[in-house]
Amino acid sequence: GVFQVKPRKRGIGRNPRTGKEVRIPPGRTIRFKPGKDLQNIG
């Protein structure tokens, strides 16, 4: 499989305790794309 670093957009989240909106800054996240051998196992 392959790991990739993907950009993530900024967004608006919510604090579950207070219900207040929280800004989420843009960042990066990791994505995993399984290879054909790994996909055929399941």
Q: What is the pLDDT of residues 1-42, one digit of tens each?
A: 899 999 999 999 999 999 999 999 999 999 999 988 888 886
Q: Please check whether residue 42 lies inside any domain of the structure.
A: no
Number of domains observed in the structure of the chain:
1
Q: Please check whether residue 14 lies inside any domain of the structure.
A: yes
DSSP H helices in the chain: 36-41
Range of the domain at 27: 2-37
In this prediction, residue 38 carries a pLDDT of 84
Residue 7, SS3 per DSSP: strand
Q: Please check whether residue 23 lies inside any domain of the structure.
A: yes
Q: What is the pTM of this model?
A: 0.50
Q: Please check whether residue 13 lies inside any domain of the structure.
A: yes
In this prediction, residue 42 carries a pLDDT of 65
